Structure 1
């Protein structure tokens, strides 16, 4: 039995219903439509087309609460500059009252659905996911993406006009004859031509064309067939003369087809492909005395490793033509890492919240150690709810983006600022895919290497030692059992190493917990 679901965003400027064919999990606020279990795919598709029509958009907006537009203000506030940018709350209660016609636009719905599925296979992200995104593969996909999207725009226009007839809003059939419908660019739909003419005549002002990257036209394109031209001319006349249709055939009810554009999507796809290659597990481990150990790398060293991969060089040249791979990798990693140590991640306000979280974690570990569920439930009542983080608690916006209000790690790399070897100014990073034991091992290895091989004194080693102290409770939680390969528990080994290191370097707990990175200083302008 198939698990089909029609779903939409709860808040949006327009109706954007999609058919989920199984496997997706939606947020609690998503608008979900479930048909009876025995409903066919065809029944889902025909309803999907109807719900995505301009008529449905008009009806939903009359029934729904609107407020707040696209972020247009200089301060990032939501400002409804024009009606089509205003956002509405489309909820299930209102949707349940949506009136259904006696017939559906099945054929057009099926065609548009098929094109939508095809479009998803020729995006830059899909190209990158199916193999190396070469120049040739991307160029072929780009042409098909533009063509498929233009065909979808044209057929959506046919569907909108067919639905008017299905609801009795038109006394005539104004869909174009089969085979006469050309691919359409944004700006070539009937309502857009009407709007462009009003703008030219100074009868209207709008950002519709500029915001959607379309070109306003006031005359019908010459390459259209006579049949299609006649249909569009009649549609324009109806928009201008039929009040009901004129209320719907306007930007606030017509599909926006808003898109980042191919170039932006391609840059993102190439970036993600390169970052995925940077995360290849084999880069982040080395074998020492027959054992696999985590291996931190500076971005320069990572670039040197990747230079051996011809595919990486090809894609990097597409992503950043002419740039040295070392700079490309450094730029890619710059916003994809989060430092290993709390003092390198948070401002003072964030560190205060982190202390509250650490107290809660300690209490939770005590709860886990209790013998029975009843005792655990009673103990749990005394555990406070820790505070949520805000963007202002983090030292960099990118750290906040990866961690969020609950400080859940989503970054690709863990970084060790200031821990690169002398002579290599590039950032030292590790793989965020390491478990806590491997992260502790990486820190211990770095401490030994910097002290014994590079001659670092205690003040330079302190942040690394503090990082090991900070992660040790998690090593104890997840790697506290005896490991026959190690001959002891990893937690005991690293706890012993930490104790020996702090004693040798004369580092107290207070020194480790109070360390802060030096504040950045701005140089004074030289006197003339």
Structure 2
């Protein structure tokens, strides 16, 4: 295909009048049949040979060969038939003597022929297949108190659920193949899923997603949303400013930025709940990104209730989860503020607000404590090591 593309390029030069009929006869193969033209590898095209010679002579610096995984070739390959060697040499001479052709026969105008290796594509396909299995909607809902509710799962619990499915054998085989691509063939399904979902989740709470700059931008976006709601309520057009776009520097992790982008549009597959896993399972707690705001709030309410009853969590541990419900309240009022048969006499928004008010009263907190909450910044182990070394040095000096 590389050889055929080369023939096509030089045919086009003739079609556009850059080459005469006589020049075309010297610069193109007598027949474009694949059985006639010899194979051409990356690095062996005429312009690449010219480029390699200039690089070898120190006339230019180029990353072309490294970038495309090809080897610089400075001589016309001897394994080609003589007639084809003559054609490629004629092309090299034409590039050297014709400025117009040289402007086209250069890396900027040539097909890259850059393809991902099969191993990389296979790994990506295996990962996508496993993610699709993990994102099956049926995994993320269950019946609780005669009512279908969203269900959160740790990565470990997710692995257990997948092993119960009818296609468990296919899932385990795929996980094994994926683990082999990681160079760790003995990984368990839980360990494989930890790797697979690592870049596919974004935390439920803004304070877990953004750095300080991002939180300031988030506050501006929330103000804009509130003004838009005011427009909807009153019908009066307001002069609403355009909120600032996010950058990668506003997010705490690169994967959060990759899933959200400059407008913070959710594209992730899963919601994550840092520091909210049950004590018996340290793997990351996840929810489904396909939930609506009511489902998300229900999931948070259930986590709060379970952790308080089953593990006797303190108010301090529950604050970020309550902050998550508080963050959803404007959307709950907007989309679930009406009474419906499913929720009884109160709307979903009213029920969640009542729950939130009760929790705040129980913990003697004010609403501002939820918006002001920030996760504890983790200290780097390197600093701790330095401190330890300093302490040891001081102790040695004291002994002396």
The aligned runs of 1:209-228 (5 Å cut-off) are 209-221=65-77, 224-228=80-84
1:200 & 1:393 partners in 2: Cα distance?
44
- Give the direction of change, closer, same or farther, for the CA distance of 1:212–1:452 in structure 2 (3 Å limit): same
1:194 & 1:504 partners in 2: Cα distance?
78
**C-alpha displacement at 1:420, in angstroms?**
0.5
CA deviation profile, 1:6-60 (whole Å, cap 9, x unmatched): xxxxxxxxxxxxxxxxxxxxxxxxxxxxxxxxxxxxxxxxxxxxxxxxxxxxxxx
The aligned runs of 1:117-132 (5 Å cut-off) are none
1:350 paired residue number: 214
1:329 & 1:169 partners in 2: Cα distance?
57
What secondary structure is seen at the aligned counterpart in 1 of 2:172?
Answer: helix
The aligned runs of 1:77-92 (5 Å cut-off) are none
1:18 paired residue number: none
The answer to whether the 8 Å contact 2:4/2:32 transfers is no
1:178 paired residue number: 32
2:342 & 2:60 partners in 1: Cα distance?
76
- Give the direction of change, closer, same or farther, for the CA distance of 1:352–1:165 in structure 2 (3 Å limit): closer
**C-alpha displacement at 1:260, in angstroms?**
4.1
1:497 equivalenced with 2:355 (yes/no): yes
**Which shifted more, 251-260 or 422-431?**
251-260
- Give the direction of change, closer, same or farther, for the CA distance of 1:257–1:178 in structure 2 (3 Å limit): closer
2:55 & 2:208 partners in 1: Cα distance?
54
2:374 paired residue number: 516
What secondary structure is seen at the aligned counterpart in 2 of 1:369?
Answer: helix
With the length of structure 2 as denominator, give the TM-score of the two structures.
0.84
- Give the direction of change, closer, same or farther, for the CA distance of 1:226–1:299 in structure 2 (3 Å limit): same
What secondary structure is seen at the aligned counterpart in 2 of 1:386?
Answer: coil
CA deviation profile, 1:262-308 (whole Å, cap 9, x unmatched): 44333333323322222111111112244321111111211222334
**C-alpha displacement at 1:498, in angstroms?**
1.8
1:306 & 1:491 partners in 2: Cα distance?
34
The aligned runs of 1:324-339 (5 Å cut-off) are 324-339=188-203
1:267 & 1:349 partners in 2: Cα distance?
36
2:398 paired residue number: none
Picking from 402, 411, 421, the partner of 2:259 is 402
2:217 & 2:52 partners in 1: Cα distance?
54
Picking from 419, 431, 448, the partner of 2:305 is 448
1:190 & 1:359 partners in 2: Cα distance?
60
Mark the runs of 5 or more structure 2 residues left unpaired by the alignment: 393-400
2:395 paired residue number: none
CA deviation profile, 1:370-408 (whole Å, cap 9, x unmatched): 2xxxxx2xx332333333333333222322222223222
1:282 equivalenced with 2:141 (yes/no): no
Residue-pair matches, total: 370
With the length of structure 1 as denominator, give the TM-score of the two structures.
0.65
**C-alpha displacement at 1:428, in angstroms?**
0.8
2:149 & 2:40 partners in 1: Cα distance?
57
The aligned runs of 1:134-283 (5 Å cut-off) are 151=1, 153-171=2-20, 172=22, 173=24, 174-176=27-29, 177-179=31-33, 180-200=36-56, 205-221=61-77, 224-283=80-139
Mark the runs of 5 or more structure 1 residues left unpaired by the alignment: 1-150, 371-375
2:249 & 2:100 partners in 1: Cα distance?
50
- Give the direction of change, closer, same or farther, for the CA distance of 1:426–1:233 in structure 2 (3 Å limit): same
- Give the direction of change, closer, same or farther, for the CA distance of 1:244–1:458 in structure 2 (3 Å limit): closer
1:201 & 1:466 partners in 2: Cα distance?
65
2:151 paired residue number: 295
The answer to whether the 8 Å contact 2:141/2:149 transfers is yes
**C-alpha displacement at 1:223, in angstroms?**
5.3
What secondary structure is seen at the aligned counterpart in 2 of 1:400?
Answer: helix
1:514 & 1:245 partners in 2: Cα distance?
65
1:461 equivalenced with 2:325 (yes/no): no
CA deviation profile, 1:183-232 (whole Å, cap 9, x unmatched): 43211212223333444455654332122111223444455445534433
1:145 paired residue number: none
Q: Say what the alpha-carbon RMSD is for the aligned residues.
A: 2.4
What secondary structure is seen at the aligned counterpart in 2 of 1:232?
Answer: helix
The answer to whether the 8 Å contact 2:7/2:32 transfers is no
1:439 equivalenced with 2:296 (yes/no): yes
**C-alpha displacement at 1:161, in angstroms?**
0.5
**C-alpha displacement at 1:439, in angstroms?**
0.3
**C-alpha displacement at 1:438, in angstroms?**
0.4
**C-alpha displacement at 1:411, in angstroms?**
1.7
The answer to whether the 8 Å contact 2:54/2:60 transfers is yes
Instruction: Give the helix-richer structure, 1 or 2.
Output: 2
What secondary structure is seen at the aligned counterpart in 2 of 1:389?
Answer: coil
Picking from 315, 334, 341, the partner of 1:484 is 341
2:210 & 2:265 partners in 1: Cα distance?
14
**Which shifted more, 301-310 or 426-435?**
301-310
What secondary structure is seen at the aligned counterpart in 2 of 1:415?
Answer: strand
Query: Between Structure 1 and Structure 2, whose CA radius of gyration is higher?
Result: 2
